[in-house]
Amino acid sequence: MTEWAEVADGVFQRRYDPLDISICVVRGSRGLLVVDTRSSPQQADEVREHLRELGPHPVVAVVNTHAHFDHTFGNQSFGGVPIYGHRRVPAHLQAYEAPMLADWLARGEEPVEEWAAVEITAPTALVDRELRLLVGDRTVDLLHLGRGHTDNDLVLHVPDAAAWIVGDLVEESGPPMYGSGCFPLEWPGTCAALADRLGASDVVVPGHGRAVTRAFVETQQAQLAEVAQLITELHATGVPVEQAREAGAGRWALPAEGLDPAISAAYRALEPPAARDRRTP
Ligand SMILES: [Zn+2]
């Protein structure tokens, strides 16, 4: 049984399965700002039901922390209000999420009726590096701090509540996820840029898991940096990409079974452009 947790003054988090996804709300004087929309319109409609528990206020805007399906495939249920997202979200949706959805539909992936209902809906208001929103009497800053979990991660800062909603730049209920469109070599720097802005007791809500503070973010930043460092080292010593995970056994700062996408993305980034060109038929 899920419920809203008021993690900071007027800032709410609700953790939904599948995937223990965080849906967050900033409640202002005249409405609700909803952060992320779950994996399907049916799941988003359930969120809309639950929003009534937060009072009579209407939803005035939605923010997508990044393009991954579990954060955006419910967007269509929030028609009529602006949906904010980083300017590279539409390209990511097209490059990764749309083909993945097509594949799930072709294979009859469960829950079939939910995937069939998804109409991939891009944000309607695109953000580059920074945008200040006013939710009634409250200020919410949207910030893109660099590439990392994807090239389109946005974090939200609610200054009057000392709260941050950071999407999958930070994860608590599992290790940070290297998924489609990740930038493993840049993620540590982006996470450090986030940590630099945090007060020691600021509330940080991850995309998956319970709210944390700066110390947790710093620990995760160090793990991401160690992983990036080891991949760089293995690449530099000529270890082939398909042997890198094994070659680093015992030295990975994060569970090795999740690192293949990190290794392949980092190797691609480390190869000189000429080598990449030669491989193109
Ligand atoms: Zn994600």
pLDDT tens, position by position, 107-155: 999 999 999 999 999 999 999 999 999 999 999 999 999 999 999 999 9
Quote the ligand 1 centre to 278 CA distance (angstroms): 32
Distance, in Å, from the CA atom of 166 to the CA atom of 143, rounded to the nearest integer, reads 10
Tell me whether residue 144 is in a domain: yes
CATH number, domain containing residue 147: 3.60.15.10
CA angle (164 as vertex; 200, 197 as ends), nearest 5:
50
Quote the ligand 1 centre to 66 CA distance (angstroms): 7
Query: 């939605």: which residue's tokens?
Result: 62
Quote the ligand 1 centre to 280 CA distance (angstroms): 29
The predicted pLDDT at position 30 comes to: 86
The predicted pLDDT at position 272 comes to: 75
Quote the ligand 1 centre to 260 CA distance (angstroms): 16
Rounded to two decimals, the pTM is 0.95
Distance, in Å, from the CA atom of 172 to the CA atom of 164, rounded to the nearest integer, reads 14
Quote the ligand 1 centre to 44 CA distance (angstroms): 17
Quote the ligand 1 centre to 237 CA distance (angstroms): 31
Q: Which run of H or E residues covers position 128?
A: none
Surrounding residues of ion ligand 1, Cβ less than 5 A:
68, 168
Whether the per-residue pLDDT at 177 is higher than 90: the answer is yes
Whether the per-residue pLDDT at 280 is higher than 80: the answer is no
Distance, in Å, from the CA atom of 181 to the CA atom of 95, rounded to the nearest integer, reads 9
Output the six-digit token pair for 177: 């996820």
Quote the ligand 1 centre to 10 CA distance (angstroms): 25
Tell me whether residue 261 is in a domain: no
Tell me whether residue 232 is in a domain: no
Quote the ligand 1 centre to 65 CA distance (angstroms): 8
Tell me whether residue 264 is in a domain: no
Whether the per-residue pLDDT at 274 is higher than 90: the answer is no
Half-sphere exposure of 127 (CA within 13 A, CB side): 28
Cis peptide preceding 111, ω within 30 of 0: yes
Whether the per-residue pLDDT at 281 is higher than 60: the answer is no
Range of the domain at 21: 5-223
Is-contact 144 154, C-beta < 8 A?
yes
Distance, in Å, from the CA atom of 178 to the CA atom of 196, rounded to the nearest integer, reads 23
Confidence of residue 2 (pLDDT cuts 50, 70, 90): confident
Total tally of structural domains belonging to the chain: 1
Report, as an integer, the average pLDDT of 230-240. Answer: 98
Whether the per-residue pLDDT at 279 is higher than 70: the answer is no
Distance, in Å, from the CA atom of 161 to the CA atom of 24, rounded to the nearest integer, reads 14
Tell me whether residue 271 is in a domain: no
Quote the ligand 1 centre to 134 CA distance (angstroms): 26
Tell me whether residue 16 is in a domain: yes
Tell me whether residue 81 is in a domain: yes
Q: Which run of H or E residues covers position 257?
A: none
Quote the ligand 1 centre to 39 CA distance (angstroms): 11
DSSP 178: -
What is the per-residue pLDDT across 33-46, written as a single tens digit (0 to 9) for each?
Answer: 999 999 999 999 99
DSSP 242: G
Quote the ligand 1 centre to 61 CA distance (angstroms): 21
Distance, in Å, from the CA atom of 168 to the CA atom of 148, rounded to the nearest integer, reads 9
Tell me whether residue 200 is in a domain: yes
3-class DSSP state of 114: helix
Quote the ligand 1 centre to 274 CA distance (angstroms): 31
CA angle (266 as vertex; 142, 169 as ends), nearest 5:
25
Quote the ligand 1 centre to 247 CA distance (angstroms): 27
